[in-house]
Chains A and B, each alone.
Chain A
Amino acid sequence: MSLLDDLKWALRSLARAPGFSLLAAALLALGIGANLAIFAMVERSLLRPLPYGAPDRLVALWEQTPARGGLRDYFSAADFLDWQRESTRLRSLCALSSGAMNLAGGVEPERVRVGRVSGNFLDVLQVRPRLGRGFLPEEDAPGAPRAALLTWEFWNRHGADPSLVGRTLRLDGVDTLVVGVMPPGFELAHRIAKSDIFMPLALTAAERANRQRHWLTAVARLQEGATPRDAEAELRAVCDRIARTDPGTNQGFTARVAPLRDELVKDARGTLLALLGAVGFVLLIACTNVANLLLARGSRRGLELAVRSAMGADRGRIFRLFMVESCLLGVLGGALGFVAARAVGSGLALLLALPDGTGGGWAQLAFAVGVSLAAAMGAGVVPAWRFSGADSRPALRDGGRTSGTRAQHRLSGLLVAAETALATALLIGAGLLLRTLASLQGVDPGFDPRTIAIQVTLPASTYRGNAPQGDFARRIQARLEAIPGVISAGVMDNLPLSGSMRQAGYDLEPGSQGRPDQEAFCYRASPGTFRTLGIPLVRGRDFEPTDTATTIITESFARRHWAGQDPLGRRVFIDADDHFGMTIVGVVGDVRHESLAVPTRPGFYMPLLDPGPAYITAPGLVLVVRAQVPPAALQGALRQALREVDPELPLGPVRTMGELMDQNLKDARARGILFGGFSLLALVLAGAGIFGVVSYLTSMRTRELGVRAALGARRSDLLALVLGGGMRMLAAGGGAGLLLAFALARTLRSQLHGVGTVDPAAYGLAAGLVALCGGLACLAPALRASRVDPAVALRSE
């Protein structure tokens, strides 16, 4: 008997039972499809080589400073240049920064995201532009004519005209030569925002000498034979040397080096691996269900198997026949799952804000084939082993009516318990993540989420320095406050939770040579901004238009230095060359700066209308508005107001602070939704499995139930008997699931907030859901059992 014969028989056997075949394939398709959809994102984000030459040699660099408690920090241009000059383990380095500019020339001015890069960045990354050329060394010099490389996507949005290369764009009022277009999909997102165009950093002499302004990040290429660890050790030695020569600015600074891929995927890795684990659970449950279906079906094929055995088929042959059938189901399930994954993959990627990876590729195809076969084997091996070793004599003796043995029933029960355990663990994981989301949603950000915020980019050509920015702020605020429906308005240089924060070192005494271990968040704000944002003024007063050298501190800043004392009238000195001093005139409530998940840290505000020190000039401002009308109704009036103040400035997106909070929660929400979705799928699959097994086992016990009824069992006794049996399986599985969940929760710990790994609510809710679902799944067969005709006890077998 050849494998071809087995294949033929298996096909015929499955075709004879189309309902069973389709159900089994659909169950496998659900599990396989979920795995393919998540794996596509894992492959695209974690496994696929980065779109750079020899990507394994690329590393990311950052600094750690005592002020930030070991967190990643940006570094100064002077530090970067020292690293570049003194490193021998790094063949080449390029510095990166990001910002925004206004593109003129269209119907409306457009705000574009600009990646500022060292002129050698294409050499470091070993990437060539699709059109045109890279930057010339002379274009990366201060005062040189501006040059820009466009991303493929930006170029396409603007007509995809090849002749754009060689022409100029007017950016922030300055003509900028387009020298080339990058390949499709190219991006460089190491700690900088996604860019539309790239421009040379063109560091000025002042920037090159400055060690206080931390604003750069960097990517480097390792020398042949060097490792990230080598490079890090070398850069740390450089940091130590700088700290000795410049202790005022660099005491305690150190360098970190890590493979670029690790840095790029570090945020997504935890979520994706957790989701991969979740869909793995779903697949295991699907396989368990199919195994149970195969066991039930196999028990009805007793005579066929007995005859095959009597005709000379040994255990191996029967085992092979079962496995071929399972593999066919796996192939069918895999094909259906592949289609399902393609259908939902893009939506999942969108939800997770990850690249859509469902485009295929050999790795995904290999995974699809592998997981389909693994699922088929996983589902088929237990039934195949069970029936290939079964005693054929009873089946031959009674014509195949023998249906199921105690061992087989026990095996089915074990499988049900296993899938219950998996579903319970997954539900608890989802519960923890959803409780995390609820906890984050309940966080008080410290400001009013209804406040409207609009980003405005101020071109340096027109608004260089604080004075022109202050003048712009004064005029636009007055204009905004005049809009009907606007209650109040304000202007800031940055928004909390926007992802672009500034921290400043400070002192409380004049003349001390900087204490970089004291940092705080630093904002500039116009009078009325706190009222507009709903940030409570706790002591003192708001800024006044005539304020100079004043500051308003946050409550946590006051607690840090003057707990129990009055901070008003005290002085704060910005840690800079000129040691700019400010008098505290007010104390306001804290806000969440970095993220809703990160506890608030001390901060201080400086008056935006005060020219102050030049180095705190921001590249843009944020208009904040409190209004009685919805943001959409204000859009036209806001555009008109901005046009009246400066017709060259584009109006950025008009959104509320609540939307910013939503954006901040997107990862937690995506994790919660996906985990919740997969756990509900697991619950439904487990419920279906429990229903199937309890129905099957009950049908096998019809005669026994009839005997019990004949002996005086009431309907309630029979109902309790079947329900009790099902609930015992559930209890065993649920208990195991609680233990499994404990292990799962430990792997999710880094993604939890405001909830422990052993959260009674999450555990209780999951246990309740499993009990409810399992109870409902057992109820129908139990009711059927309770209505059994006791006269069956009298019928001959």
Chain B
Amino acid sequence: MSPRSIIRLEAIKKVFTTDEVETHALSDIHLEIAEGEFISIAGPSGCGKSTLLSILGLLDTPTEGGYTLNGKPVAGLSLSERARIRNHEIGFIFQSFNLIGDLTVYENVELPLVYRGLPLGERRTRVMEALEEVGMSHRAKHLPSQLSGGQQQRVAVARAVGGRPSILLADEPTGNLDSTNGDAVMDLLKDLHRRGSTICMVTHDARFAQHADRTVHLFDGRVVEESLAKA
């Protein structure tokens, strides 16, 4: 039996219109991501990687095309419904970590669970598990400003996995890190993948893209190539 499809994009098109000028950010994108898969989306700057990730993460809507998440079409959902699906099904890892400076490490990881309305006890369990998973439980009471970049990104990963989402969307997760910390974060993602997480990572760094099972190459808003990792 083939793995279950988490994400299915069909003929996705995204057009930005400014001052009567149309910019085709994405054209005719077909993409399917299976459960447990680690996929990377690669391409040069401006090729549409971030736009694609925004659509995958329900942060933006396509101009045309179909998007099915966990078997359910998500086009035409209300803002609050999209927010609910983001909270339950998607874990984000951002290039610039995006931890909230006023909140402690613990509170940052807890934030999506608060929005989900989980009871306190369950939140505590999940947060500590997530922090253990990324090796940051000993810094739970620290503020982000007291952590290195690599540590901040580990906390961001914990925040993404704490809600046990269907898929992790990582946007250049090593982009703001030095090579040592970048490697460590990649190892962490690979470890998560090994333990069953589905990951979709945007990167322009071929060195990190090759860690994925499959790499989708974008150019001028189109998929120009798909390559599988060497066994």
Report whether chain A binds chain B. Answer: yes
- Chain A residues within CB distance 8 Å of chain B: 406, 703-704, 707-717, 789-791, 793-797
B80 A794 Cβ-Cβ under 8 A: no
Specify which chain B residues have a CB less than 8 angstroms from the CB of A707 in the assembled complex.
Answer: 94, 98, 100
Closest 8 CB pairs of A and B: A712-B87, A791-B59, A707-B98, A712-B115, A711-B112, A790-B59, A714-B83, A714-B80
Task: Give B103's nearest chain A residue, CB to CB.
Answer: A704
Contact of A717 with B115 at beta-carbon distance under 8 Å, contacts A707-B94, A791-B54 already known: yes
A714:B115 contact, CB within 8 angstroms: yes
> How distant is B85 from chain A, measured CB to nearest CB, in Å?
8
Residue of A with least CB distance to B175: A796
Chain B window 172-202, contacts with chain A (Cβ cutoff 8 Å), 1 for yes, 0 for no? 0000000000000000000000000000000
Chain B contacts for A712, CB-based, 8 A: 83-84, 86-88, 112, 115-116, 163
Contact present for B115 and A715 (CB under 8 Å):
no
Measured in the bound complex, the distance between the Cα atoms of B55 and A790 in whole Å is 11
Contact A406 B54 (CB under 8 A): no
17 contacts between A and B (CB under 8 A): A707-B100, A710-B86, A710-B92, A711-B111, A711-B115, A712-B84, A712-B86, A712-B112, A713-B83, A715-B79, A715-B80, A791-B54, A794-B53, A794-B54, A794-B59, A796-B95, A797-B96
**Quick one: closest B residue to A795, CB to CB?**
B50
The distance in angstroms between the C-alpha atoms of A742 and B54, with both chains bound, is 55
- How far apart sit A703 and B95, CA to CA, in the bound complex (Å)? 13
Which of B84, B94, B163 has the most C-beta atoms of chain A within 10 angstroms of its own C-beta? B94
Cβ of B171 under 8 Å from chain A: yes
Is B154 engaged at the interface, CB distance under 8 Å to the other chain? no
Residue of A406, A715, A793, A795 with most chain B CB atoms under a 10 A cut-off: A793
Q: Smallest CB-CB separation from A712: which chain B residue?
A: B87
Given contacts A406-B102, A791-B54, A793-B59, contact A711 B87 (CB under 8 A): yes
The bracket for how many chain B residues form the interface is: 20 to 34
Please indicate the chain B residues that have their CB under 8 angstroms from the CB of A790 in the complex: 59, 86
- CA A790 – CA B50 in complex, angstroms? 13
Q: Which residue of B is nearest A711, CB measured? A: B112
> A645 to B65, alpha carbons, bound, how many Å?
103
In angstroms, Cα B121 to Cα A25, docked, is: 54
Query: Per-residue 0/1 for B94-119: is the Cβ within 8 Å of any A Cβ (1 yes, 0 no)?
Result: 11101011100000000110011000
Q: Which chain A residues border B80 with CB–CB below 8 Å? A: 714-716
Query: Which of B50-103 touch A at CB < 8 Å?
Result: 50, 53-54, 57, 59-60, 79-80, 83-84, 86-88, 92, 94-96, 98, 100-102
In the complex, B159 has a CB within 8 A of chain A:
yes
Q: Which residue of B lies closest to A792 (CB)?
A: B59
> Using Cβ atoms and an 8 Å threshold, which residues of chain A touch B96?
796-797
Q: CB distance B101 to A406 under 8 Å?
A: yes
Q: Chain B residues near A796 (CB, 8 Å)?
A: 95-96
Contact A710 B101 (CB under 8 A): no
Among candidates A704, A708, A710, A716, residue contacting B59 with C-beta atoms closer than 8 Å: A710
CA–CA, A714 and B60, complex, Å: 15
Given A712-B115, A714-B83, 14 extra CB contacts under 8 A: A406-B102, A704-B101, A708-B100, A710-B59, A710-B86, A711-B86, A711-B111, A712-B86, A712-B87, A714-B84, A715-B79, A791-B60, A793-B59, A793-B98
The complex places the Cα of A349 from the Cα of B52 at a distance, in Å, of 70
Cα–Cα distance between A703 and B96 once the two chains are bound (Å): 11
Q: How far is the CA of A717 from the CA of B117 in the complex (A)?
A: 11
Contact with A along B211-222 (1 / 0, CB 8 A): 000000000000
Q: How far is the CB of B98 from chain A (nearest CB, A)?
A: 4
Q: Which residues of A contact B116 (CB under 8 A)?
A: 712
- A693, chain B: closest CB distance, angstroms: 16
Interface 0/1 of B27-42, CB less than 8 Å to A:
0000000000000000
In the bound complex, what is the Cα–Cα distance between A791 and B82 (angstroms)? 13
Give the Cβ gap from A351 to chain B, nearest Cβ, in Å: 49
Cα distance A359–B111 in the bound complex, in angstroms? 63
A704 to B83 Cα, complex, angstroms: 16
Residue of A nearest to B112 (CB): A711
Q: How far is the CB of B28 from chain A (nearest CB, A)?
A: 22
**A405 CB, min distance to chain B CBs, angstroms:** 9
Assembly CA distance A793 to B92 (angstroms) = 10
A660 vs chain B, min Cβ distance (A): 63
Question: In this complex, what residue of A is CB-closest to B97?
Answer: A707
Residue pair B54, A711 in contact (C-beta under 8 Å): no
In the complex, which residue of chain A has the Cβ closest to the Cβ of B82?
Answer: A790
Judge whether B57 and A710 touch: CB under 8 Å: yes
| A716 / chain B contacts, CB cutoff of 8 Å | 80
- Are A709 and B83 interface neighbours, CB within 8 A? yes
Chain B residues, CB < 8 A from A795: 50
Q: How many angstroms from the CA of A712 to the CA of B57 in the assembled complex?
A: 11
Roughly how many angstroms separate A790 CA and B90 CA in the complex, as a whole number?
14
Q: How far is the CB of B161 from chain A (nearest CB, A)?
A: 13
What separation, in Å, do the CA atoms of A796 and B112 have in the docked complex? 22
- Give the complex CA separation of A611 and B115 in angstroms: 92
Alpha-carbon distance A458/B34, docked complex (angstroms) = 111
CA distance A263 to B83 in the complex (A): 72
Q: Knowing A794-B50, A794-B171 touch, does A711 contact B159 (C-beta < 8 A)? A: yes
With A711-B87, A714-B115 already in contact, the answer to whether A704 and B53 are too (CB < 8 A) is: no
Residues on B with C-beta less than 8 A from A794 are: 50, 53-54, 57, 59, 94-95, 171
Distance in angstroms between the alpha carbons of A703 and B115 in the assembled complex: 18
- Across the interface, B111 reaches (CB within 8 A) one of A703, A708, A715, A797, namely A708
Question: What residue in chain B is nearest A409 (Cβ atoms)?
Answer: B102
> Which of B50, B88, B98, B159 contacts A703 (CB under 8 A)?
B98
Known: A791-B54, A794-B171. A711 touches B92 (CB 8 A): yes
Q: For the complex, give the distance between the alpha carbons of A789 and B82 in Å.
A: 13
